[in-house]
Amino acid sequence: MAGTRAAGWVPEVAGILTADQLLATGDSIAAVQQADGAIGWPDGHVDAWNHIECAMALSVCGLRAAARRAYAWLASAQRPDGSWPVRPASVLALGGAGHGSTGHGSTGTGSTGTGSTGTGSTGTGKTGTADCTAAEIFGDFTAADQSAESNHAAYAAVGAWHELLVTGDEAFAERMWPVVHGGIEFALSLQRPRGEIIWRRMADGNPDTYALLAGSSSMYQALRCGIALADHLNVPQPDWEVAAAQLGHVVAVHGEQAFADKSRYSMDWYYPVLAGPVRGSAARQRLDQGWDTFVVPGLGIRCVSDQPWVTGAETCELAIALEAIGDRATALDLVEQIQHLRAPDGAYWTGWQFANQAHFPNEQSSWTSAAVILAADALSGATNGAGIFAAAASPSSELPAGTASCGCPPGLAGAGSADPGSGPLQHP
């Protein structure tokens, strides 16, 4: 169904990306959608988080039939406990050719990276990423994974709320509510008393031993979207409100104590801002502090601080975070910089290893294309879903009485928009 879209909108970013160029990028995602609606990595394996991001991008481009096939797959693949498996490549027959993805999960928002098996490679320059295989960084997905990641399960709420915002389809929202409810409840079954959420339930049914900052930040946004959907459908979930307040607080205030140290990954740097727990002057300070560590002028941002490797998805997500806190000029600059990863047909290479002057991995990724589209929408305001990241912060930044298990007094600010400040960062 490439090129077939609903009338009315496609984003464009003046001077950077035209509507036709962004539609071509959407078509590149639809071209690799598998026959059952799943959207996978280049080897064919599928995880729910990256799949949902791609579904959101398809909807932004008006590729409605492909987006709905993606959400139908999501509903059909959900386990009874509300989670999703990582479907292995070895059991798949790809429903398309050409582009795939190599994994947008450096710190737990996708499948791998610090959330699972990949930790990048060692060294820099000529001994860095270009001398490793993608499997060494992202993990091997040829065997079925019986574990379940909390962030994958929760992210269904972001996709469903986004689709309702973009299309206004009330019947879709009603159909997706049980899927969203099950996913959120699975994630909350792994929430610790302090507020952080363990990153996965292992194959033996036991929780893993640690939480991830980027993953928990993303789940804060998922909870906010789930709460919004619940209120819209008149099925309020007060327990989710409490859980979101605790989670946002622990991300904003107790990051060093509550989460495994994955600070070499850029997603741990910007995700607390992107997903809403940290906003206002605290967000500007956080991004400013990590700027020189991760930003490579003219190329984008590093995926891993000690690797000469910039990636398109991380760069575009940082741009969305900057737009959310009022630094539009820098956000536009980053989206423009990353266009060196654009292929002639509109797809995007995952990254660029600038020491070796080579694309790395040697693959074009569906979720990198999706991140470009979502950044374009955030910057252009083309759809009603354009503000889904900017609106992620809670209207309240206080812990409810009786919910602080971290030792902080009730009412302490920390989650959401702690102050109204916005504007450009003070970075070079």
| Inter-residue contact 22 to 11 (CB < 8 Å) | yes
The CATH number of 19-392 is which of 1.10.730.10, 1.20.1250.20, 1.50.10.10, 3.40.50.2300? 1.50.10.10
User: Which two three-digit tokens encode residue 102?
Assistant: 């190599």
Write down the pLDDT at residue 403.
59
Q: pLDDT band at residue 138, thresholds of 50, 70 and 90?
A: very low
- Sign, CA dihedral 239-242-244-246, equals negative
Write down the pLDDT at residue 395.
60
The SS3 call for residue 211 is: strand
CA dist 250 to 106, 157, 259, 413, Å?
A: 21, 21, 9, 11
| Higher pLDDT, residue 130 or 230 | 230
Lowest mean pLDDT among 138-147, 239-248, 335-344, 380-389: 138-147
Residue 1 has pLDDT above 50, yes or no: no
| Higher pLDDT, residue 90 or 387 | 387
- Runs of H (alpha helix) within 34-169: 48-60, 64-77, 134-138, 150-154, 156-167
Pairwise CA distance, residues 212 & 189, whole Å = 16
DSSP 139-199: ---SS-B--EEHHHHHTHHHHHHHHHHHH--HHHHHHHHHHHHHHHHHHHTTB-TTS-BBS
Residue 5 has pLDDT above 90, yes or no: no
Write down the pLDDT at residue 106.
39
| Top mean-pLDDT range of 28-37, 138-147, 386-395 | 28-37
Q: pLDDT band at residue 2, thresholds of 50, 70 and 90?
A: very low
pLDDT digits (tens, 9 = 90+) for 358-389: 999 999 999 999 999 999 999 999 999 999 99
CA dist 98 to 21, 45, 57, 220, 363, Å?
A: 18, 15, 18, 34, 9
Residue ranges of domains in the chain: 19-392
CA dist 276 to 219, 273, 322, 418, Å?
A: 10, 5, 12, 10
| Residue 95 CA to its chain's centroid (Å) | 24
pLDDT digits (tens, 9 = 90+) for 232-276: 999 999 999 999 999 999 999 998 899 999 999 999 999 999 999
pLDDT digits (tens, 9 = 90+) for 297-317: 999 999 999 999 999 999 999
Lowest mean pLDDT among 77-81, 121-125, 142-146: 121-125
| Inter-residue contact 65 to 383 (CB < 8 Å) | no
